[in-house]
Every structure is written in C-alpha cells, then in structure tokens.
Structure 1
Amino acid sequence: MEETTWAALTAALTVAGAIWTWIAFRRRGAANGLRALGFTLLPAAAWLTGTLRTVVEIGSAVTDWATGLVFDVRTWTGVGLAGLAVLLLVVSGFIRDRQLARGQAVGRTRKDGRTRKDDAGRDALPPTAPPGRGKPVIDDDLADIEAMLRKRGIE
C-alpha cells in the first residue's frame, strides 16, 4: 500500500476513536473517556513511528495461518493424531493404576487362598483415628460446633 493509503487508514481509525472517546466521556465519565482517548491516539502513533504497517502485516500473517489451519485436511489430521495420543496416554495411566492396585491386592490373601476385595486400597487411605483411640481426630476450631450438635442429638 502507498503512504496515502496508510494515512487514510490512520485518519479513519482516529476519527472512529474520537467518536468513541466523546461518547465515553459523556456516558461513562472522565476515567473511561481518558482510556478511550489513549486508544484513539494509538493508530496515529503507530503510523508516525512506522509500526502500523508492521502491525497490519502481522495481522495478515496470523489470518493466513488461521485460515490454513481451519481449511487444511493435513493440519486437522495432525490435530486429530495429537488428540488420540493424549487420549491413549490418559487411558494407559488408568490401566497402569488398576494393574498396580491389583498387584498389591495379590499379596494379601485369606486363609482359603482368595484375595479380599476390601484390602486392595486399604494402604492408600489415611487412618481415620490414631491407633489406640476410638474417637476420630477433631479440629480445635470445630470442637464447639461438634458439642452443639451433640447437645441437639445430632452426631
């Protein structure tokens, strides 16, 4: 594009921003109006420093990349393969956890040689009460709430 085209684009963006700034000052107050004025001055600053052309070229490159991503069968095949790979990794993790749990359960057998189903995950769970005490551990902050519940017959 020629320099006059860039100047026209800058003028159009600045005029649109000026209208937005005026509306923001009238309806929303000084803070929002000043913010809008800051955004209004950005196209003019970008044109004067020569970065407006760079910003437009970057936007065009990103648009071309996104368009190629959306409409390219090869790219979507790659995305599908990546999704399948992640799915397989997650499923293999679940299968591995089940195999490890089954392996731990094999070590514990009853007198008749069968494994107990409830023993498989018992080591993984934290104890609910300290050994030797029949009461569960109570948080000091919740002790008064528990006392009130007991007083009302709720346990």
Structure 2
Amino acid sequence: MLAETICSAASVAGLGIAALTAYRRRFLTATRIAAYALVPLGLVMTGVVAWATEVVFEPTVWAGFGVLGLAWLLFATTRVVERRSLGKAAKPPRPVKGAPAREAVAPAASEPSLGAAAAGGTRPAGRQKPAAAAGDDFSDIEAILKKHGI
C-alpha cells in the first residue's frame, strides 16, 4: 500500500512539473515529462508494484533465489571439473627420448580415394577419363573460391 501511494505521488508531482513546463511554452519537453510521470501510475494500476513489493519483502522468495544460485554454482563447478579431467585425458603422451617412433596404423587412410588411380593405378573399364582431366579435378572448386575471394 505504501509503494502504491509513493508511485501515485510521484506521478502527480511529475504531471505538475509538466504543467509548469507547458506554461513556459516548452510543449515538447512538457509532453516528454508527462509521459515519464504516467509510467509509475500505470505500473500501480497494472499491479506490477504490488507484485514487486511482495517479491522483495518475502523471505521465501529470497531463499528461492539462494537455492537457484546454489544450483548454478554446482552446475558451474561440475563443468569446470569435467573440462579439466577431459583436458588431461585428451592430451597424447609425450614421447620418451630414445624410444622408436610410432608409425600410423593405416598411413594411406588419409589419401583421396582416387589417389592411387590418378597415380597410374587401374580403373574400371567403363569409367576411363582422359589423362589431361586428372589435373582438372579441383578446378571448379578453385573457381568458386576465387569468386568469393578466398
């Protein structure tokens, strides 16, 4: 009840200032002051002020905010711990000096599937391309990249 009275008084005072400003023939400024003065009155009439005062002065609401903060803190802590543990597990072990170097399990796995055929391997009989077209495989991609300035 006290908050509604204060907001109503602020609106009346603002409208009085707007009237004095309009009396001095500064109508644009007076209209702007009147608009600001009507906001607290509108908030009282819609019930926002009553809701806000119930939220601010209710101890259960503050306990709820505390519980939400605690939940957020727990989520953040688990996220930090998870990232630290994943970061340690994802790093490969450092090589020991003097140990033989490891070779890849499948060294040709990263080659393009047509790499062996373009290098002189055999192709199926129905899918022969001319030898000059082997260098043109990526020409359309290069043209698109040049078009976009990459």
TM-score bracket, shorter-length normalisation: 0.3 to 0.5
TM normalised by structure 1 equals: 0.42
Structure with larger RCO (C-alpha < 8 A, sep 6+): 2
| Structure number with bigger Rg | 2
